[in-house]
Structure 1
């Protein structure tokens, strides 16, 4: 909900580019790069919603191409719950 845009270009600690970036379809890369070019943080916020977040369903539009940070940050985990609490986000009902 508050990633701004997925961090793909460098791996952890400046390591190699993530495989999710190199394997991503060209049209998704173009969409992502265009979003980054025009990205700005909403007034009064630390960051904004992810480029691929569907605000209505609150789900990722391109889940199969998500970066490592999204893969490692499991929905419902303690970290997830802590961030929801910090932002005052109520977990969606399943």
Structure 2
């Protein structure tokens, strides 16, 4: 079985829009099978979002932590679920 972790750091409302505040969404992808990650990356690009390969499936642990932190910031910062994690160069 091939397992790929993706999309958990982006809220559903923004995924539906495909962008946040005028920027394409970054979709963080982790997995051990490069072909499976490539398929997810193609899907992400087809939705005008930016796929970012963050490494092997063991990175799912960090993605879960990022997602939890992102969720926990919504109320204190009054973000109304309209924020996203963006990697800037």
Q: TM-score, normalised by structure 2?
A: 0.32
Q: Which has the higher contact order (CA 8 A, sep 6+)?
A: 2
Q: TM-score, normalised by structure 1?
A: 0.31
